[in-house]
Chain A
Amino acid sequence: MQVISKYVHNDSVKNGRSFRFTAWFQRMLILPVLLMLLKSCIEPYIAEIEDEPELIAIEASLIKGIQRQRVMISKTTPLQNAEFVPVKGCTVRLFDDVDNAYRYDEYQDGYYILDLQDGDLVEGRNYQLQVLTQGGKEYRSKSVQLQAGVEIDSVYFEIESRIESYTGDDLEGLQFYIDLRAPDTISRFFRWKLVETFEYTSAGPINYFYYNSSLEPVPPSDIWALYRCWKTTDIKDIYLSNTINLIENEKKRIPLKYVSTESDRLKIRYSLLINQYSLSEGAYNYFNQNMVATQEGGGLYNKQPEQPLTNFFNVNDTTERVIGYFWLSVKSSKRIFVERINDLDVKDHFYPLEVFNLEDHGDGPFPLYIMEDASGTRITGSPYCFDCTRRGGITVRPDFW
Chain B
Amino acid sequence: MIILLSVQSVGQDRAVLKNTYENLSFTDFIHDAEKGEEIKFYYQSQWIDGLKIQSLQSGVAWDEAMEQVLNGTGLNYYRNNNEIYIFPGKALVTDLPEYEPEKDVPSEALSGNDTVEASTRYLQTKSISEEKFLTVGSKQYADNGEKCRIRGSITNQNTGEELIGATIYVKETGSGTITDNQGKFQLLLPAGIYHISIDHMAMKNVEYGLNVLSDGEVTLQLENELIEIEEITLVNKRQSNVEGMLMGFERISTRSVKEVPVVLGEKDVIKIAQMLPGVQNAGEGSSGFNVRGGSADQNMFYINKISVYNTSHLFGFFTAFSPDIISDFSLYKNNVPSKYGGRIASIFEITTRQGNKEDFFAQGGISPITGHIAVEGPVIKEKVTFVGSFRSTYSDWILKRMNDNDLRNSKASFYDGTLGINAEINDNNQVKAFIYKSSDDFSLSVRNDYSYSNTGGSVSWKHNFSSFLSADFSVASSNYRFSVIDKNNISEAYSHEYFVEHTEARADFLSLQLDNHRLEFGINSILYNLNRGDILPYGQDSRRIPISLGLEQGIENAAYLSDEFRVLPRLDLLFGMRYSIYAQLGAAEVREYLPGLPRNDNNFVETVRFGRGEVVKTYSGFEPRAALNYRLGSNSSLKASYNRLQQYIFLLSNTVAIAPSDQWKLSDYHIEPPVSDQVSIGYYKDFQDAGINFSVEVYNKWIKNVVEYRDGADFISPEPLETQILQGSQDSYGVELMVRKNTNKLTGWVSYSFSRSVVQVNGTYFEQKINNGIPYPSNYDKPHSFNLVSNYRVSRRLSFSANVVYSTGRPVTLPVAAYYSEGRPYLLYSSRNAYRIPDYFRVDLSVNLEGNLKFKKLAHSFWMLNVYNLTGRNNAYSVFYEVNGDQINGYQLSIFARPIVTLSWNFKFGNYNSN
B874 contact from A14, A41, A298, Cβ within 8 A:
A41
With a cutoff of 8 Å between Cβ atoms, the chain A residues found around residue B835 in the complex are 47, 49
Judging by beta carbons under 8 Å apart, are A297 and B264 in contact? no
Q: B890 near A: Cβ within 8 Å? A: yes
Q: A33-B368, A43-B891, A250-B543 are contacts. A14–B884 as well, Cβ < 8 Å? A: yes
Q: A236-B824, A245-B544, A285-B712 are in contact. Are A31 and B816 (CB under 8 A)?
A: no
Specify the chain A residue showing the minimal Cβ separation from B535: A245
Cβ B823 vs Cβ A234 within 8 A:
yes
Is B900 a contact of A38 with CB atoms below 8 Å?
yes
Instruction: Specify which of A19, A39, A59, A306 is in contact with B821 (CB 8 Å cutoff).
Output: A59
Judged by a CB distance under 8 angstroms, whether B514 is at the interface is no
A37 to B902, CA, bound (A): 8
Q: How many A-B residue pairs have CB under 8 A?
A: 241
Question: B491 to A251, Cβ gap below 8 A?
Answer: yes
Asked whether B657 is an interface residue with its Cβ less than 8 Å from the other chain, the reply is yes
Q: Is A232 part of the binding interface, using a Cβ–Cβ cutoff of 8 Å?
A: no
Cβ of B124 under 8 Å from chain A? no
Q: Quick one: CB contact mask for B798-829 with A, threshold 8 Å, 1 for yes?
A: 00000000000000011111111111111111
Chain A nearest CB, measured from B887 CB (Å): 8
Tell me if A220 is interfacial: C-beta within 8 Å of chain B. no
Contacts A24-B445, A163-B406 given: A76-B828 contact, CB under 8 Å?
Answer: yes
- Any chain B CB within 8 A of the CB of A358? no
Residues of chain B within 8 A of A34, CB atoms compared = 398
- Give B490-529 interface residues, CB cut-off 8 Å to A: 490-492, 494
Alpha-carbon distance between A54 and B445 when the two chains are bound, in angstroms: 45
Given that A11-B884, A31-B402, A59-B821 are contacting pairs, would A37 and B816 also be in contact in the complex, using a CB cutoff of 8 Å? Answer: no
Contacts of A254 in B (CB 8 A): 489
Q: Is the C-beta of B876 less than 8 angstroms from some C-beta in chain A?
A: yes
Q: How large is the interface on A (under 10, 10 to 19, 20 to 34, 35 or more residues)?
A: 35 or more
Q: Is the CB of A28 within 8 A of B407?
A: yes
The reply to whether the CB of A135 lies closer than 8 angstroms to some CB of chain B is no
**Residue in A24, A45, A301 whose CB lies within 8 Å of B892:** A45
Assess whether A300 is in contact with B828, with CB atoms less than 8 Å apart: no
Counting chain B CB atoms within 10 Å of each CB, the highest count among A21, A78, A79 belongs to A79
Contact A28–B881 (Cβ < 8 Å): no
Q: Are A40 and B897 in contact (CB under 8 A)?
A: yes
**Closest Cβ neighbor of A53 among chain B residues:** B817
Question: How far is B659's CA from A25's CA once the two chains are assembled, in angstroms?
Answer: 14
Q: In chain A between 289 and 346, which residues have their CB closer than 8 angstroms to a CB of chain B? A: 289-290, 293-295, 297-307, 323-324
* Complex CA distance for A285 and B711, rounded to whole angstroms: 10
Q: Contact at A32–B368, with CB atoms within 8 Å?
A: yes
Is A161 an interface residue, CB under 8 A from the partner?
yes
**B366 beta carbon closer than 8 Å to chain A:** no
**B191 is an interface residue with CB less than 8 A from chain A:** no
Q: Give complex CA distance A78, B657 in Å.
A: 30
Q: Counting CB contacts under 8 A, is B617 at the interface?
A: no
A14–B545 Cα gap in the complex (Å)?
35
A248 part of interface (Cβ distance < 8 Å): yes
| Contacting residues, chain A, for B410 (C-beta < 8 A) | 24, 28
Give A331 to B387 CA distance when docked, in angstroms: 69
Most A CB contacts (10 A, CB to CB) among B393, B494, B657 go to B657
With contacts A31-B402, A300-B315 taken as known, whether A82 is within 8 angstroms of B895 at the C-beta atoms is no
Taking CB atoms, residues of chain A closer than 8 Å to B813 are 304-305
B426: min CB distance to chain A, Å: 49
Q: What mask results when residues 716 to 733 of chain B are scored 1 for a CB within 8 Å of chain A, else 0?
A: 010000000000000000
Say how far B491's CB is from chain A's closest CB, in angstroms: 4
In the assembly, what is the distance between CA of A373 and CA of B481, in Å?
71
Q: Which residues of A contact B545 (CB under 8 A)?
A: 245-247
A323 to B828, alpha carbons, bound, how many Å? 9
Q: Is the CB of B369 within 8 A of A44?
A: no
- Which of B659, B711, B814, B891 is within 8 Å of A44, CB to CB? B891
Q: Judging by beta carbons under 8 Å apart, are A25 and B824 in contact?
A: no
Contact at B876–A45, with CB atoms within 8 Å?
yes
Report how far A27 CA is from B819 CA in the complex, Å.
36
Chain B residues positioned under 8 Å from A39 (CB to CB)? 897-898
A285 to B896, CA, bound (A): 35
Selected from A84, A289, A297, the residue in CB contact (under 8 A) with B891 is A297
Per-residue contact bits, chain B 443-461, to A (CB 8 Å; 1 contact, 0 not): 0110100000000000000
Do B406 and A24 have beta carbons less than 8 Å apart? yes
Whether B829 lies near A78 (C-beta < 8 A) is no
Interface residues of B in 650-672 (CB under 8 A from A): 654-657, 659
Cα A236 to Cα B826 with chains together (Å): 11
User: Can you add 4 more A-B contacts, CB < 8 Å, to A245-B494, A300-B877, A301-B657?
Assistant: A39-B897, A41-B893, A253-B491, A290-B826
8 intermolecular pairs with C-beta atoms under 8 Å apart: A19-B444, A43-B892, A47-B879, A85-B820, A236-B823, A247-B544, A251-B543, A252-B489
